[in-house]
């Protein structure tokens, strides 16, 4: 049975920048920028619950559904030591993240049964997303071993799709797709792009999509772009072959026009200019006939998501 956002006439929403909201707005320290740590305290869980419900209400008001993501972007075995967890503890947190998201979906559907919520099992890069490490430094097989336990846990607990977010390393992308195929679950691969519209390595988005598709027999359900302002990707999309553009089904834009380096070295949140963000996103969506999911990334919040829903999904 196809997931509802794959057959919907209107794209589904997904989240805004939950981790940047937690860190900058609510002043919660997030080791390694990992939202997983929010699930270890009652106050953290209540914040995540509140934001999940806010996002779902925006989707409901817009007449569409929403993909809500597990807080597991940095919860693969590669992040156990940096986060000061054992691998068993991190595995348990992956289970807890899905269980918690299921609880929230049930709570939302009790008050609004018409809201369609897809449980999105999110995984992320094995190293810092802003670090340029070549595919020579990590093989597909070693990446599969690093991801296998996490993806198995997410699938066993009941997520409906696996989404690899902010990836720049093609071996990691291929590994996640191959594992998802092995475990018979849909998978999305979303690349993080720089201000020039290319991956950190300088590879074009078009080449990245083609390489992953060729290596995995086109198993990826759709590709995505996240962690870059939508204005930065207009030209690369305009120059892209239509057959490749049709493979892009997800856009999650940053609020700020700043580069990753500028954002990484900033102590303050740049929420950008919402009308500029929405205007650029509308132009991007016109170039993507296969779009399925739209949302925000770093620096975006409920105001961005509301404006996006009202102006881009109507």
The structure tokens listed for 109 are 């559907």
Residue 68 has a pLDDT of: 98
The structure tokens listed for 91 are 């595995």
Residue 200 has a pLDDT of: 87
- pLDDT tens sequence across 59-79: 999 999 999 999 999 999 999
4-312: CATH topology is TIM Barrel (3.20.20)
Residue 114 burial by Cβ neighbours in a 10 Å radius (0-12, 13-18, 19+): exposed
Query: Is 312 known as a binding-site position?
Result: no
Report the C-alpha gap between 10 and 235 in whole angstroms: 25
Beta pairing class for 12-13 and 293-296: parallel
Beta pairing class for 222-228 and 187-192: parallel
SS3 180: helix
Q: How many helices (H) and strands (E) does the chain have?
A: 12, 8
Residue 194 has a pLDDT of: 86
- pLDDT tens sequence across 152-164: 999 999 999 999 9
pLDDT beyond 70 at 5? yes
The structure tokens listed for 261 are 């380096």
Ranges of H-type helices in the chain: 4-7, 18-20, 42-61, 87-111, 140-157, 170-182, 205-215, 234-238, 242-245, 260-264, 274-286, 302-312
Assign 263 a pLDDT band (cuts: 50, 70, 90).
low
SS3 95: helix
Taking Cα atoms as reference points, which of 280, 278, 262 lies closest to residue 270?
262
Report the C-alpha gap between 124 and 50 in whole angstroms: 23
Q: What is the mean pLDDT of the chain?
A: 93
Query: Is 298 known as a binding-site position?
Result: yes
3-state per-residue secondary structure call for 127-150: CCCCCCCCHHHCCHHHHHHHHHHH
Report whether 61 contacts 313 (CB < 8 A): no
Cβ-proximal residues to 299 (8 Å cutoff; 6+ apart), any chain: 17, 20, 254, 255, 256, 263, 269, 270, 271, 272
The structure tokens listed for 78 are 């590669």
- Total-model pTM: 0.94
92-109: average pLDDT: 97
- pLDDT tens sequence across 176-217: 999 999 999 999 999 999 888 889 888 999 999 999 999 999
Residue 32 has a pLDDT of: 87
């Amino acid at each position: 049975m196809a997931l509802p956002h794959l057959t919907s006439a209107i794209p589904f929403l997904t989240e805004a920048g939950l981790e940047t909201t937690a860190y900058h707005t609510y002043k919660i320290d997030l080791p390694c920028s990992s939202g997983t740590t929010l699930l270890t305290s009652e106050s953290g869980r209540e914040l995540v619950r509140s934001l999940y419900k806010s996002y779902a209400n925006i989707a409901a008001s817009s007449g569409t559904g929403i993909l809500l993501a597990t807080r597991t972007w940095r919860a693969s075995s590669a992040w156990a030591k940096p986060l000061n967890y054992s691998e068993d503890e991190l595995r348990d947190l992956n289970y807890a993240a899905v269980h918690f998201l299921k609880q929230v979906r049930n709570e939302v559907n009790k008050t609004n049964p018409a809201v369609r919520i897809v449980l999105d099992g999110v995984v992320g890069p094995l190293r810092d997303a802003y670090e340029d490490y070549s595919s020579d430094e990590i093989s597909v097989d070693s990446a599969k071993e690093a991801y296998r336990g996490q993806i198995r846990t997410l699938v066993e607990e009941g997520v409906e799709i696996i989404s690899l977010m902010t990836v720049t390393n093609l071996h990691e992308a291929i590994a996640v797709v191959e594992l998802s195929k092995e475990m018979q679950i849909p998978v999305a691969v979303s690349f993080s792009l720089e201000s020039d519209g290319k991956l950190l390595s300088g590879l074009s988005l078009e080449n990245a999509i083609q390489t992953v598709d060729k290596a995995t027999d086109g198993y990826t359900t759709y590709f995505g772009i996240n962690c870059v302002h939508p204005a930065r990707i207009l030209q690369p999309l305009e120059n892209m072959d239509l057959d490749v553009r049709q493979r892009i089904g997800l856009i999650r834009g940053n609020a700020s026009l700043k580069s990753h380096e500028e954002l990484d070295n900033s102590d303050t949140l740049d929420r950008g200019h919402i009308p500029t963000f929405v205007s650029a996103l509308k132009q991007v969506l016109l170039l993507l006939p296969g779009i399925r999911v739209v949302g925000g990334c770093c620096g975006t919040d409920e105001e961005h998501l509301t404006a996006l829903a009202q102006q881009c999904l109507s």
